[in-house]
Chain A
Amino acid sequence: MSHHKLEARNLSYAYPDGQEALKNLSFTVTHGEAVGLIGANGAGKSTVLALLMGLLFPSEGQALLADVAITKKTLPLVRQSLGLVMQNPDDQLFMTSVYDDVAFGPRNYQLTESEVAARVAGALDLVGIPHLRDRAPYRLSVGEKRCAAIAAVLSMQPDILLMDEPTAGLDPQARRRIMNLLNSFSHTKIITSHDLDMVWTVCRRVILLKGGTVAADGPAEEILTDARLLESCGLELPLSLQNCPSGQAR
Chain B
Amino acid sequence: MRKESHYIDNLRLLELLARQKSVIHQMNPLVKLLTTVIYVTVVISFERYEFSALLPLLFYPALVLAFSGTPVAPILKRVLLAQVFVIGIGIWNPFFDTYPVMFGGLSVSRGWLSFLSLILKSILAVTALFLLIATTGMERTAQALRMLKIPKIFVLQLLLTYRYITVLLEEAARMTRAYALRAPRQKGIHRSAWGSFLGQLLLRTVDRGERVHEAMLLRGFTGEYHTGAAAGAGLRDWAYLAGWGLFFILVRAYNLPVWLGTLLTGAMIK
B is a partner of A? yes
Q: Which residue of B lies closest to A120 (CB)?
A: B228
* B138 CB–A CB distance under 8 Å: yes
Is the Cβ of B219 less than 8 Å from the Cβ of A138? Answer: no
Tell me the minimal C-beta distance from A75 to chain B in angstroms.
8
Is the Cβ of A108 less than 8 Å from the Cβ of B211? Answer: no
Per the bound structure, the CA–CA distance linking A138 and B216 in Å amounts to: 17
Most chain-B Cβ atoms within 10 A of its Cβ — which of A83, A84, A86, A91? A91
Size bracket, chain A contacts: 20 to 34
Q: Quick one: given A137-B163, A138-B163, are A96 and B220 in contact (CB under 8 Å)?
A: no
Q: Which residue of B lies closest to A137 (CB)?
A: B163
Q: Quick one: given A91-B208, A96-B163, A138-B167, are A55 and B217 in contact (CB under 8 Å)?
A: yes
Question: What residues of chain A lie closer than 8 Å to B255, measured between beta carbons?
Answer: none
Question: What residues of chain B lie closer than 8 Å to A92, measured between beta carbons?
Answer: 215
Most chain-A Cβ atoms within 10 A of its Cβ — which of B19, B208, B215, B228? B215
User: Which of B138, B208, B211, B220 interacts with A79 by CB under 8 Å?
Assistant: B220
The 10 residue pairs across chains A and B that have the minimum distance between CB atoms:
A108-B220, A105-B219, A107-B226, A91-B211, A92-B215, A138-B166, A113-B229, A94-B212, A96-B139, A96-B163
Apart from A108-B226, A137-B163, what are 17 other A-B pairs with CB-CB below 8 Å?
A55-B214, A79-B219, A80-B220, A91-B214, A91-B215, A95-B159, A97-B139, A104-B219, A105-B219, A105-B220, A107-B228, A108-B220, A109-B220, A110-B226, A113-B229, A116-B228, A138-B163
Q: Which residue of A lies closest to B170 (CB)?
A: A138
Q: Quick one: given A108-B219, A108-B220, are A96 and B226 in contact (CB under 8 Å)?
A: no
Question: What residues of chain A lie closer than 8 Å to B208, measured between beta carbons?
Answer: 91
Q: Quick one: given A76-B220, A139-B15, are A86 and B228 in contact (CB under 8 Å)?
A: no
Q: Which residue of B lies closest to A90 (CB)?
A: B167
Per the bound structure, the CA–CA distance linking A129 and B61 in Å amounts to: 36
Q: Quick one: given A107-B226, A108-B219, are A95 and B163 in contact (CB under 8 Å)?
A: yes
Is the Cβ of A94 less than 8 Å from the Cβ of B215? Answer: yes
A198-220 interface code vs B (CB 8 A; 1 in, 0 out): 00000000000000000000000
Q: Which residue of B lies closest to A113 (CB)?
A: B229
User: Which of B160, B162, B215, B228 interacts with A103 by CB under 8 Å?
Assistant: B228
Per the bound structure, the CA–CA distance linking A97 and B158 in Å amounts to: 14
* A156 CB–B CB distance under 8 Å: yes
Question: What residues of chain A lie closer than 8 Å to B211, measured between beta carbons?
Answer: 86, 88, 91
Question: What residues of chain A lie closer than 8 Å to B166, measured between beta carbons?
Answer: 138
* B193 CB–A CB distance under 8 Å: no
**For chain B, what secondary structure do more than half of its interface residues adopt (helix, strand, loop), or is it mixed?**
helix
**For chain A, what secondary structure do more than half of its interface residues adopt (helix, strand, loop), or is it mixed?**
helix
User: Which of A53, A88, A94, A108 interacts with B160 by CB under 8 Å?
Assistant: A94
Q: Which residue of A lies closest to B212 (CB)?
A: A94
User: Which of A90, A108, A113, A134 interacts with B222 by CB under 8 Å?
Assistant: A108
Is the Cβ of B162 less than 8 Å from the Cβ of A113? Answer: no
Is the Cβ of B218 less than 8 Å from the Cβ of A79? Answer: yes
* B221 CB–A CB distance under 8 Å: yes
Most chain-A Cβ atoms within 10 A of its Cβ — which of B19, B139, B163, B214? B163
Tell me the minimal C-beta distance from A143 to chain B in angstroms.
17
Q: Which residue of A lies closest to B210 (CB)?
A: A91
A71-87 interface code vs B (CB 8 A; 1 in, 0 out): 00000100110011010
Tell me the minimal C-beta distance from B12 to chain A in angstroms.
8
Interfacial residues of chain B within 112-142, with CB under 8 A of chain A in the complex: 138-139, 142
Tell me the minimal C-beta distance from A52 to chain B in angstroms.
11
Q: Quick one: given A104-B219, A108-B226, A116-B228, are A96 and B212 in contact (CB under 8 Å)?
A: no
Q: Which residue of B lies closest to A50 (CB)?
A: B214
Is the Cβ of B215 less than 8 Å from the Cβ of A113? Answer: no
Query: Can you name 25 A-B residue pairings with CB atoms under 8 Å?
Result: A55-B214, A55-B218, A79-B217, A79-B218, A83-B218, A86-B211, A91-B208, A91-B211, A94-B215, A94-B216, A95-B163, A96-B142, A96-B162, A100-B228, A103-B228, A104-B219, A105-B219, A105-B220, A107-B228, A116-B228, A136-B15, A136-B163, A139-B12, A156-B219, A156-B220
